[in-house]
Amino acid sequence: MTRNKPPALAMQLDRCDVCGDKYHRADLVRTQVEFLNMKAENFFLYSSYDGTNWVVDTASDAGSTSYGNRCDNARTTLDSDNDISYINGVQTWTGDGVFRLDVITDLSLSSTYDLTFSAQVGPHEQNTSPEMTVEMGITNNDGSVTQAIKTFTIKGTTRVWFNEEVATLNGYGLGTGDYYFYLEITNDGSWWVDELQLELNVNSLPGHEQGRPENFVRTSGSFVSSSINDELSEQQLMTSRKVCKNCAEYILSKSERFGRTEESPIDEPVDSWAQEI
């Protein structure tokens, strides 16, 4: 489409946050928009690799050199020697390795719960062979003993996940309501893991009887949930977005959207006794 390939004007390109089409950055404007924050929860303190809560065994650190699942957030630059560097890249590793949780989140779950562990996993975009095997499960505190729950063979960015009853997980002898999770990657190049998520009782939500992950929510130091027992709720929020002219909209005041109230359009005078100097 024409709007996805603007004319070459030696100007930086960016995407509209609403429609996702490419535009010259000079043609995008920032505006406030109301949006519905979908129900979501995440009981991992960190949803991305941080070197403390999440650690990697055996694989070699390749730096933040992948685009990851949200490639529009990443940029590449060239220096005078034509060496590539990444801006907002995702942490990457080379060779086979185990990506595991090293700091447990104390939830003290009873055997009546089920939980869903999920993550975005993918090969580096320059891998000669993108196929990789991803094994998911729980482990002990140092990763020396593992219990595989589910295995995937993927060839591109994929959300891998498993859902299991707490009573079943307790039977493996690697925890009683609190667990160390892991992903073991077997591949012929480099790989990344991001957007890690732990949800509870997803089976009880309408349309998620198989325990599939809900909407992703990012965490950085604290988990996100409306309640550990109650069904999650949606929230109406306002944010700032960069939008193209086709997606720009005027935000009406609440009174214009939902009708005028009976309140006075001006403030009533303040009694003299209530005033301060």
Q: Do residue 180 and residue 246 come from a single domain?
A: no
Do 162 and 241 fall within a single domain?
A: no
pLDDT in tens, 226-235: 544 445 566 6
Which CATH number covers residue 200?
2.60.120
Domain count, the chain: 2
Average pLDDT score, the chain? 83
109 with 171, same domain: the answer is yes
Domain presence at residue 269: no
Q: What domain range includes position 248? A: 1-36+234-253
141, burial (CB in 10 Å: exposed 0-12, middle 13-18, buried 19+): middle
**Domain shared by 96 and 21, yes or no:** no
- The pLDDT value given to residue 269: 52
Residues 149 and 196 in one domain: yes
Query: Does residue 37 carry a pLDDT above 50?
Result: yes
Are 215 and 111 in the same domain?
A: yes
Which residues is 152 bridged to in the sheet?
Answer: 134
Q: Are residues 26 and 150 in the same domain?
A: no
pLDDT value at residue 205: 62
Write the burial class of residue 187 (CB in 10 Å: 0-12 exposed, 13-18 middle, 19+ buried).
buried
Please write the tens of the pLDDT for every residue from 141-198.
999 999 999 999 999 999 999 999 999 999 999 988 899 999 999 999 999 999 999 9
**DSSP string over 57-92:** ESSEEEEEEE--S-GGG-EEEE-TT--EEEESPEEE
Place of tokens 């086979």: 96
**Amino acid at residue number 269:** P
Confidence of residue 250 (pLDDT cuts 50, 70, 90): low
**pLDDT (average), residues 1-22:** 74
What are the beta bridge partners of residue 172? none
Residue 127 and residue 98 share a domain: yes
Domain presence at residue 273 = no
pLDDT digits (tens, 9 = 90+) for 61-119: 999 999 999 887 787 887 788 888 888 899 999 999 999 999 987 787 888 889 999 99
Q: Is residue 263 part of a domain?
A: no
> Is 173 inside any structural domain?
yes
pLDDT at 23 over 60: yes
What pLDDT score does 12 carry?
Answer: 80
pLDDT for position 10: 66
Q: Are residues 57 and 125 in the same domain?
A: yes
**Does residue 262 sit within a domain?**
no
What pLDDT, on a 0 to 100 scale, did the predictor assign at position 75?
79
Tell me, what amino acid is at 189? G
pLDDT tens-digit profile of 254-272?
544 444 444 444 455 555 4
Phi, psi of 230 (to 5 degrees): -85, 155
Find, among 88, 83, 45, 70, the residue nearest to 181 by Cα.
45
Taking residue 197's Cβ as centre, other Cβ atoms within 10 Å add up to 25
Taking every pair of Cα atoms in the chain, the longest distance, rounded to a whole number of angstroms, is 80
pLDDT at residue 85 in the model? 84
Q: Looking at the structure, do residues 153 and 96 belong to the same domain, yes or no?
A: yes
Q: What is the pLDDT of residue 229?
A: 43
Residue 148 to residue 94: CA distance in whole angstroms:
22
193 and 100 inside one domain: yes
The answer to whether residue 156 is domain-embedded is yes
The answer to whether residue 265 sits within a structural domain is: no
73 is a domain residue: no
Task: Kindly state whether residues 213 and 226 are assigned to the same domain.
Answer: yes
- What distance in Å separates the CA atoms of residue 263 and residue 253, rounded to the nearest whole number? 15
